[in-house]
Amino acid sequence: EPEVTQTPSHQVTQMGQEVILRCVPISNHLYFYWYRQILGQKVEFLVSFYNNEISEKSEIFDDQFSVERPDGSNFTLKIRSTKLEDSAMYFCASSASRGVTGGQYGYTFGSGTRLTVV
């Protein structure tokens, strides 16, 4: 069964440093997402991406965050200057389509990257 692959599985970084979290979505999917989950809290939406641009972002996704699809396979989340409160699990997800087929496809999530900011 196709999978969404995230690397690294665990990243430790010092406060103020930049990190890039990497994701390889399922190859024929068109929509890409980043979510995060702070330990013990809800899964929170960060950003959605379609047709090489951001289609929606949450209040959490401020200027320190950016996303990119640098080639046909990778989807990255960059955090420019990490803060202690950025420590969380970050999940990438992809889906095949929305709208046209009336919600026939669910999201496939990756296993996540645990980001620890020290």
Q: Which residues bind another protein (CB under 8 A)?
A: 4, 33, 35, 37, 42-45, 48, 50, 55-56, 89, 91, 93, 98-99, 101-103, 106-112, 114
Residue found under tokens 């969380």 = 88
Query: Whole-angstrom Cα distance, residue 111 to residue 113?
Result: 7
> Residue 19 or residue 93: which is nearer to another protein going by CB?
93
- Cα-based torsion angle of the residue sequence 43, 49, 55, 61 in order, rounded to the nearest 10 degrees: 50
Query: How many angstroms separate the CA atoms of 63 and 20, rounded?
Result: 15
Nearest distance in Å: CB 62, another protein: 17
Choose between 22 and 44: whose C-beta lies nearer to another protein. Answer: 44
Smallest gap from Cβ 42 to another protein, in A, equals 5
